[in-house]
Structure 1
């Protein structure tokens, strides 16, 4: 059985959420780096591209700041922290679903 049949969109969603979390963490880590351009992933677009079997690179874009900084850095800490927290919650939800699905399959295989 293919993982798509067993786990649906959640396995792909988990991978994309992980990728987005790393990108947001990179933005936060570079908040004081002159000229750094904050990036983000359009999750819905990335999921659609992944389902079609394509690369998710087309879902990555540079964030446009509300107010540009003098050093050219586009990281807005409040925006990044909020996006990170929301993404972490969605990641945990997908992980919880997958964990439950694996437990169900494990019990079924054991005949419980």
Structure 2
């Protein structure tokens, strides 16, 4: 009985894609911290992960036909964040400390998913080669 590679790798490839998209949004928030009128955005990870897993409705230029499709911004998946701080008068809702903390946490979770994925691949390699 053959086991598909997708089932062998589990959810981790999808989680990496969703975390990557969230990192892009959070980095954009940090980069626009001083832009008047800029509103902080975020991506709901659970929602993004479900969309990546279903692989429906996404479009992105791919360099290879087997690459994952992902474009979370194309269907308005970004959501504006409710600000924790009072308006400073310029309409910007970015709190740099909050954004940095969210970015760092997302980065650590990305690394964890990457480690889980590496462990799965190592396990599959051992199963194929017999532990050599």
TM-score by length of 1: 0.86
Write the distance in 1 (CA, Å) between the matches of 2:4 and 2:97. Answer: 40
Instruction: Say which SS state the counterpart of residue 45 (structure 1) adopts.
Output: helix
Q: Deviation at 1:54?
A: 3.6
Equivalence map 1:30-45=2 (5 Å): 30-45=32-47
Query: Between Structure 1 and Structure 2, whose CA radius of gyration is higher?
Result: 2
Instruction: Say which SS state the counterpart of residue 99 (structure 1) adopts.
Output: helix
Gaps of 5+ in 2: 58-71
Q: How many residues are treated as equivalent by the alignment?
A: 112
- 1:60 partnered with 2:62: no
Question: 1:83 corresponds to which residue?
Answer: 102
Gaps of 5+ in 1: none
Write the distance in 1 (CA, Å) between the matches of 2:113 and 2:33. Answer: 29
8 Å CA contact 2:39, 2:94 repeated in 1:
yes
8 Å CA contact 2:40, 2:93 repeated in 1:
yes
Most deviating of 47-56 and 89-98: 47-56
Most deviating of 51-60 and 15-24: 51-60
Q: Deviation at 1:86?
A: 1.2
Most deviating of 54-63 and 76-85: 54-63
